[in-house]
Structure 1
Amino acid sequence: MINPSAPGWIEKFFIEQKVSEETVMASEEEFYFKTRATGFIFGHIIGFNTVKPIPVEGQLPEEISKLGMLNTLYQMYCLIKQETDSNHFISDTIAFYNLLTPKGFNPLQKMLPSSSDSSKLEKIIHDRVQTNEDLFSKSFSHVITNALLFVDVLAFKKYLEKGSLPDKYFSRIEDIVISIVSLSLKSKTGVSVHDDLLQKLFESSVRYSKFSNKGTIKTIENLDLSYLSNDLEKFYVIDLAGISLWSDAKVENEERYFLFKLGENLNVSEAFIIDSIHFINNFIVTYKDEIPYFNNSNPVKNFYDHTTESVQVLINRNKNRLIKELSQSKELMHLIAKSTHKELDKDEKKKIKTQILDICKTIPSLTIFLLPGGGLLLPILIKFIPQLLPSAFNENEERD
């Protein structure tokens, strides 16, 4: 399995994915529809459009975003260049992202001169899927933050076609997205518990825009959309408008009017608008329980569930090493066994914390527990440890 949290994952991706010229998409429309089907457009990836299937299960959200980002950029490269050379793709992608860094500052210069191009791209993608939010906020608004990663793909398209990037491209696209989302929310017939949150999450997710036009644009007719020059940009903003209008498994007449008017202003067919409405409804209805944004009634529970899932993935990956390390600490094993049926005192809990952290130091993937605030995750780690050990370890389990 590809592990995007470990070095060398991009090389492994291209070794496993034997992409041929025959697999290159024929049109931008085909590219968009297949990308949208993966959930990348909305920031909630449910699969990957790859030659060899890559399972989503067993991957952390950040890892899923990395794989989705790499694959979508690569498919855009194949579409525009009509070639599949991974080395050319990697070098062009690095050159593209170098254009985005402020003059006089290049984070890639911090790397050792011997760093391979694939290693540099791994660093870039890692940075792009990160946010400046704290752990709690990131796990809660992940779906919105990473929805705007598609702007990178749109900009990459421009770069591949022209060898350069239009001035302030990112800020202009982001400004249009924020304006459209704001107007679409105003057009809704009913107020949803999600509406204010959605607006704030979009605004906190942008990287370049300062929302200069958001308050001055009152209607869709006043919005200048002339900057959007290709179908992919137009399809994208329509779908984002559609997901912001969704609230109760249906789109009312006034909301439909907004979408059709937006499509008319963008010169996009009514057929696409209808397809967008149906696709978004089916997508959200199917995956609503998995999307943090649509489960904001109890953000603390969402945070706990998200963190628990991530910890469980890490434990399963490091199961053998973790069991080996645990077996070498008889005192820790005794305390964990005791905790399954009896409350530990303060000193015992402190011993567990110290010894578990010592074990985490020896397993690189578990260094998350050593970071500031990582101690808060220890109870979740300890919760899953008994599941790794023989059934006789848990005195509470029924036996024949």
Structure 2
Amino acid sequence: MFSLNFRKTGWLARYLIFRASTPFTGPEPYLEFTGEDFGEEKFDELLYLEVEKNGMFFGCPVISRPVQNLANKLNFPKQQGGTILLYLETLFSIALIENESLTSNLQHAATIPYHNRLLKIILLALRYHIPGIFYRIPEDILLTELLAENETLHGALKQFEEELLDSVTLKGYSSLGNRQNNFAFSKLYFFLLWTRAEAKNDKSEPEAFLEMDKQLREEMILTFAALIWADDYVDSTEQQVIKKYIEQTRLTESEQNKLNLRIVQPVKIEDIQCSSISVIISRYMVEQLILLSLIDNQEAWQEKEFIEKISLKLELTSEKLEQLYFSVAEFFSVHNERLEFLKNNAAARQFQDYMNDKVVKIVKKNMDNIMKEIGETKELSELLLKATTKPLTTEEKQKVQDQLIDVAKSIPALAIFALPGGGILLPILIKVLPFNILPSSFQDEPVSQQELSQ
């Protein structure tokens, strides 16, 4: 274990010293695919699962207790510390996994030590996040020695700290300590695209990917503006929100002024290029639009219609759009206290009620298929039968939940509602399932009087 010298090192250096001695275990979605040869689509699919779960996709990071405790231990900045640490954990863990996968076929790749891989990602992160700054950091010295003694590296890390505070977090107080720039995911994604290119020996400069990020931000602002103009009226709340979005782009002052002038006039869907480079970016844009449509506390059919049209331009099917609506509802149902701007919001409640009602109807419509699948799952059927006579243990309840989600995934009409995690689907299944009228195949073994009395 390396000493965390709080007097001589910054919080980013302390974090890297910690990670040098404590290797990443890898984000949960990636663990099932360890050792597989990933492709770009699989990378994006797994990234989507991770950033949606941890809230970065929504600009609303979910700061778990372990993350916050680590941020406190490493003396990260108060308020912003959890958000920054989550960004770093996501960036480094995923970049390491992707790099290892992409270089696994290279000669001697299997013998590359963890420290060497981590140093490579650190240097790439510095080049990307603080472009135009030139420094010489030797790569033939052990990472632990560099972090302990190299003044050039420490100087670069100090600049990186400032960049993270400026581009990943937002100024101002939040009782949750999780104020994140809505474009932080964009920064993360294009960095990962560049590191993938680097791993393939594509000598692209980071500036090309930074430019793609910039273009996406400009395009998203125009798309947001078109949404709030969809009903031909922009209220004061919408004006404030779109201005905040423009500030978060971190474009130059002249570029921000240009956008502010542009959105004063109506923006139509025809004005938007929608040059999405990947499915994950299309999802990112649409889910941000769904959230934005809830902010003004109104229910405008024009906005819903606009989102449908944008989705078509982004080549997302109606089924995919349905899944994105549900993903937002799922996240909101689990973490509504973290979406501060949606608290006491009538439109958000209506949206939540609409999604709940929709799932209830689909569950009831597919009840026969659900019961058939349950009947073919021996352990689940036994546990449900047991639940009619006595309480289940915590472990048994978890088994029921996990297996009910598996059942839902096997039924096409329910599959999209099971994928995000079941936050909405599970309570509905448990409430709607007719436990008291289970099929006769569940009742081969009669319940004993002893069990009934327990």
User: How high is the TM-score relative to the length of structure 2?
Assistant: 0.52
**Residues 1:158 and 2:193 are matched in the alignment:** yes
SS at match of 2:62: coil
Out of 142, 150, 164, the residue aligned to residue 115 of structure 1 is 150
Residue of structure 1 equivalent to 2:323? 275
SS at match of 1:146: coil
Contact 2:167/2:184 (8 A) holds in 1: no
**Residues 1:61 and 2:109 are matched in the alignment:** no
How far the C-alpha of 1:200 sits from its partner, in A, is 1.6
How far the C-alpha of 1:188 sits from its partner, in A, is 5.4
1:127-175 deviation line (CA, Å, top 9, x unaligned): 2332399997465998675221112212112212323232622321211
Residue of structure 1 equivalent to 2:268? 219
How far the C-alpha of 1:102 sits from its partner, in A, is 5.3
**Residues 1:195 and 2:238 are matched in the alignment:** yes
Tell me how many residue pairs correspond in the alignment. Answer: 289
1:217-242 deviation line (CA, Å, top 9, x unaligned): 7212321122x212222221122112
* Distance in structure 1 (CA, Å) of the matches to 2:136 and 2:339: 34
Residue of structure 2 equivalent to 1:242? 290
Residue of structure 1 equivalent to 2:380? none
Residue of structure 2 equivalent to 1:320? none
State the AA in 2 paired with 1:159: W
Residue of structure 2 equivalent to 1:9? 15
Residue of structure 1 equivalent to 2:55? 39
Residue of structure 1 equivalent to 2:106? none
* Distance in structure 1 (CA, Å) of the matches to 2:84 and 2:168: 18
Contact 1:188/1:254 (8 A) holds in 2: yes
State the AA in 2 paired with 1:73: L
For residues 1-400 of structure 1, the aligned pairs below 5 Å read 5=11, 7-13=13-19, 15-19=21-25, 22=31, 27=42, 28-47=44-63, 54-56=66-68, 60-83=78-101, 85=114, 87-99=116-128, 101=130, 103=132, 105-106=133-134, 114-115=149-150, 123=158, 125-131=160-166, 137=172, 139=174, 145-163=180-198, 164=204, 165=206, 166=208, 168-187=211-230, 194-208=237-251, 210-211=255-256, 212=258, 214-215=262-263, 218-226=267-275, 228-247=276-295, 252-284=300-332, 286-294=334-342
Which structure 1 segments of 5+ residues have no match? 298-400
User: How high is the TM-score relative to the length of structure 1?
Assistant: 0.58
* Distance in structure 1 (CA, Å) of the matches to 2:47 and 2:179: 21
Which structure 2 segments of 5+ residues have no match? 73-77, 102-112, 138-145, 199-203, 346-454
How far the C-alpha of 1:287 sits from its partner, in A, is 3.8
1:352-374 deviation line (CA, Å, top 9, x unaligned): xxxxxxxxxxxxxxxxxxxxxxx
Report the RMSD for the aligned CA atoms in angstroms. 4.4
1:71-121 deviation line (CA, Å, top 9, x unaligned): 221243145324494642442342343255454x45899x99933898578
* Distance in structure 2 (CA, Å) of the matches to 1:199 and 1:242: 14
1:261-301 deviation line (CA, Å, top 9, x unaligned): 1111111232332222222234345544444545799xxxx
1:164-199 deviation line (CA, Å, top 9, x unaligned): 232622321211121122112222598676422221
* Distance in structure 2 (CA, Å) of the matches to 1:271 and 1:256: 15
State the AA in 1 paired with 2:163: R
SS at match of 1:45: coil
Q: Identify if the C-alpha distance between structure 1 residues 296 and 11 changes in structure 2 by more than 3 Å, giving closer, same or farther.
A: farther
* Distance in structure 2 (CA, Å) of the matches to 1:238 and 1:134: 22
State the AA in 2 paired with 1:44: C
Q: Identify if the C-alpha distance between structure 1 residues 44 and 145 changes in structure 2 by more than 3 Å, giving closer, same or farther.
A: closer
Q: Identify if the C-alpha distance between structure 1 residues 118 and 291 changes in structure 2 by more than 3 Å, giving closer, same or farther.
A: farther
How far the C-alpha of 1:254 sits from its partner, in A, is 2.5
SS at match of 2:166: coil
SS at match of 1:54: helix
* Distance in structure 2 (CA, Å) of the matches to 1:6 and 1:133: 14
